[in-house]
Every structure is written in structure tokens, then in C-alpha cells.
């Protein structure tokens, strides 16, 4: 096992690159942070980090500003373009590359002034438009060996739309999803004409940003407490898209529930029916296990640290990487 790891994951999930840059977390004494995306489990210590500099792709910055208007004027929250090379005061460089997880989501490449290249995958989908090439990698630990899909995401999209079209004549539909899948679903629903799509106020603000980046948005997209949204709900023919964890409500007409999940369905079918009104749909912007292996190969990393702070798959992932890549030194322990 190498003794010179230059990547680390702290117990609060902060990823640290070369003791110089944090990703998705705060460490006192390190004034440079990269924000890979806006998911709440990656936002730890965000306001504390504003005492230094936070770098992110423009999409992430715009989504943050949509929820916190004062951020628009902050000079310490800096948006970058895909592939921009940022030079730090110590001679190191940072580059952020899109990873297809959601709008503004990024892989992080850090290159020291000596030429050591280290990075962090962030939460990612596959394939990526461009992959960081590194010596050492912190890998997102979401996708273990049991998270394999034998269907494409194109198949999942078609199955999702077919299910929505089939259920709408008899009931409204309530979709529950994480942020990245929410707006993938909203964009897909643009292809179903004449159906009101209902979001909460936060979702409406996010959807405005997605639309600015060219994502399709339904013409009848309404806030749930707007006049149009309330009328659509009372009419009983609508699709409501809600974030996971948001409370339920009493419905005049019992809806069909679709839960968008990364994994957990049968590997060969994107739709799992629990009943006539409850379904899981494997619509996801997370790479599965085999795709994660492809990602590792594409990075060229000789050292891989699997993030063991957010998910329960790190030990299994590390074991499989060690078995399949004899030229890779792998670990899963938290470093600090």
C-alpha cells in the first residue's frame, strides 16, 4: 500500500486534495473550495467556506443564486466554464469538467506545481463528455457490485414516458426524485402535450435556470400554490414532481406514485411495480458499477480512494477494484 496518498476524505465527507483544496466541505486553514454540485449532502460547511474562495461550474453557481439571491454579488463564489484552467497562488492548477450528474455537476482535477495530478469524480453519470486524467483519484462510492443495470437510460426514459401516458387518463401522477432526476423527468414531460406539470416554489426557481441552459421545460409548468397550479390539482389531471423527503398531503383523487431511483429495480427492467398505483422507475444520473469501472480505467489512476463517508458500498467497491485492476493501489478508509 502506498504511503504517499495526496487525497483524503474527512469524516464529515469533505474531500481534500493535496492538503490545499477542499471539495464539497470545509476545513479550517484551507481557503480554496470546489463545489461539485448542489445536493445537500455535498453542501457541508458552505457558508464557512465563503471566507475563502469557492469555485464551481457556472450551472452550479446559477442554481445556488436561484435559491440565495445575495450570492449573485459575491466575489468569493466564482463560476468557471467546462475545461477552464485556474491557476492558484502556489503554482497549482484546478480544472473542472462536466460529469453528467446534473446541471453544473463537475469532476475536479488538481495539478500541483510539481506535476502530480489528483482528482475527485464527484457524483457522476456515464459516459462523460471528457474524463479527468489523474495519478490519484477519489471515487464516488455510490455504485457497488450489486448496482448493475442491464438496460440503458434511453430504455428507462421510454418506459417512464409510457407509464406516465398509460396512467394519466385514470389518475394524477406524483413523482418523487432527487434533484438531478427531478429535472430530467421535467424535461422528458415536455414531450407530453397538454398536461400541467406542478413543482414547488424551489423547483420552479431551479427550472428557470435549467431552461436558461437549454433544457426543455413544459409549457404548462406551474407552481403548486399558484392560481394555475391549484386549478390543475383541483381538475385532477396533472403530473406533480416533488423532491424526496418532502411531506405528503391529502389528495382529493388518489394519485399514481412514481419513485425515481438509482438502483434497486430488477437489473433487466427499469420499471418495478409494487401495486397498481406505486412504481419504482430506474431513471438515474448515477453510473452503475460496470460504468464506474469504465470511468476508473478512463482516468488512468494508479491510486484510487473510494469515498466511504456517504454510502455503504465502499468496501465492496474497493475489493472489486483490487481484484480487477492489479495495477491499481486502492483504499476505502477515511484518511482523517
3-state percent helix, strand, coil for the chain, nearest multiple of 5: 25, 25, 50
Alpha-helical segments (H) within 150-246: 153-167, 179-189, 201-212, 227-235
Give the pLDDT confidence of 263-314 residue by residue, as tens digits: 877 889 999 999 999 999 999 999 999 999 999 999 999 999 999 888 778 9
Residue 245 scores a pLDDT above 70: no
Q: Which residues contact 332 (CB under 8 A, 6 or more apart)?
A: 141, 305, 306, 308, 314, 315, 317, 318
89 vs 247, higher pLDDT: 89
Q: Which residues contact 255 (CB under 8 A, 6 or more apart)?
A: 171, 172, 173, 174, 240, 277
Tell me the sheet residues that pair with 97: 107
Residue 2 scores a pLDDT above 60: no
Task: Read off the pLDDT band of 15 (50, 70, 90).
Answer: very high
State percent of the chain over pLDDT 70.
96
3-state class of 141 per DSSP? coil
Grid cell, residue 113, equals 506545481
pLDDT value of position 241: 96
Asked if domains 7-146+288-331 and 153-281 share a fold, the reply is no
pLDDT value of position 110: 98
3-state class of 119 per DSSP? strand
Report the predicted TM-score, pTM, of the whole model to 2 decimal places.
Answer: 0.93
Residue 223 scores a pLDDT above 80: yes
Residue 259 scores a pLDDT above 50: yes
Give the pLDDT confidence of 177-189 residue by residue, as tens digits: 988 899 999 999 9
Grid cell, residue 324, equals 480487477
Q: What is the mean pLDDT of residues 25-36?
A: 97
pLDDT value of position 246: 57
- As a whole number of angstroms, the distance between CA 121 and CA 118 comes to 10
pLDDT value of position 198: 97
Domain 153-281: assigned CATH number: 3.40.50
Give the pLDDT confidence of 130-140 residue by residue, as tens digits: 999 999 999 99
Residue 1 scores a pLDDT above 50: no
Query: What are the backbone angles phi and psi of residue 69, rounded to the nearest 5°?
Result: -55, -35
* Boundaries of every domain in the chain: 7-146+288-331, 153-281
Give the pLDDT confidence of 94-138 residue by residue, as tens digits: 999 999 999 999 999 999 999 999 999 999 999 999 999 999 999
Count Cβ neighbours within 10 Å for each residue of 8-28 and write b for 16 or more, e otherwise.
bbbeebbbbbbebbbbbbbbe
Task: Read off the pLDDT band of 251 (50, 70, 90).
Answer: low
CATH 3.40.50.300 applies to domain 7-146+288-331? no
Cis? peptide before 280, omega within 30° of 0: no
Residue among 284, 16, 22, 313 nearest 145 (CA): 313
Q: Which residues contact 261 (CB under 8 A, 6 or more apart)?
A: 280, 281, 282, 284
Amino acid at each position: 500500500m502506498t504511503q504517499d496518498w495526496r487525497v483524503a476524505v474527512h469524516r464529515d465527507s469533505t474531500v481534500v486534495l493535496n492538503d490545499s483544496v477542499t471539495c464539497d466541505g470545509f476545513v479550517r486553514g484551507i481557503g480554496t473550495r470546489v463545489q461539485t454540485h448542489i445536493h445537500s449532502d455535498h453542501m457541508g460547511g458552505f457558508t464557512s467556506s465563503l471566507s475563502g474562495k469557492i469555485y464551481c461550474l457556472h450551472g452550479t453557481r446559477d442554481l445556488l443564486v436561484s435559491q440565495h439571491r445575495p450570492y449573485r454579488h459575491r466575489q468569493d463564489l466564482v463560476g468557471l466554464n467546462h475545461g477552464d484552467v485556474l491557476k492558484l497562488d502556489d503554482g497549482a492548477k484546478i480544472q473542472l469538467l462536466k460529469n453528467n450528474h446534473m446541471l453544473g455537476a463537475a469532476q475536479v482535477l488538481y495539478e500541483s506545481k510539481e506535476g502530480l495530478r489528483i482528482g475527485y469524480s464527484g457524483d457522476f453519470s456515464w459516459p462523460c463528455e471528457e474524463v479527468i486524467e489523474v495519478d490519484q483519484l477519489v471515487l464516488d462510492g455510490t455504485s457497488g457490485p450489486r448496482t448493475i443495470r442491464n438496460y440503458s437510460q434511453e430504455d428507462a426514459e421510454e418506459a417512464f414516458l409510457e407509464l406516465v401516458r398509460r396512467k394519466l387518463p385514470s389518475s394524477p401522477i406524483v413523482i418523487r426524485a432527487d434533484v438531478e432526476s427531478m429535472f430530467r423527468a421535467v424535461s422528458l414531460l415536455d414531450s407530453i402535450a397538454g398536461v400541467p406539470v406542478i413543482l414547488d416554489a424551489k423547483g420552479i426557481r431551479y427550472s428557470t435556470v435549467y431552461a436558461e441552459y437549454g433544457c426543455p421545460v413544459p409549457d404548462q409548468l406551474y407552481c403548486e400554490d399558484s392560481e394555475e397550479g391549484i386549478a390543475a390539482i383541483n381538475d385532477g389531471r396533472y403530473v406533480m414532481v416533488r423532491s424526496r423527503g418532502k411531506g405528503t398531503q391529502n389528495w382529493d383523487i388518489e394519485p399514481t406514485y412514481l419513485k425515481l431511483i438509482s438502483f434497486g429495480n430488477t437489473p433487466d427492467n427499469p420499471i418495478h411495480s409494487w401495486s397498481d398505483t406505486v412504481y419504482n422507475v430506474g431513471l438515474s444520473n448515477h453510473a452503475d458499477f460496470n460504468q464506474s469501472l469504465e470511468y476508473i480505467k478512463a482516468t488512468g489512476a494508479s491510486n484510487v480512494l473510494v469515498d466511504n463517508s456517504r454510502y455503504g458500498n465502499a468496501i465492496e467497491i474497493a475489493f472489486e477494484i483490487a481484484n480487477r485492476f492489479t495495477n491499481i493501489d486502492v483504499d476505502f478508509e477515511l484518511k482523517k
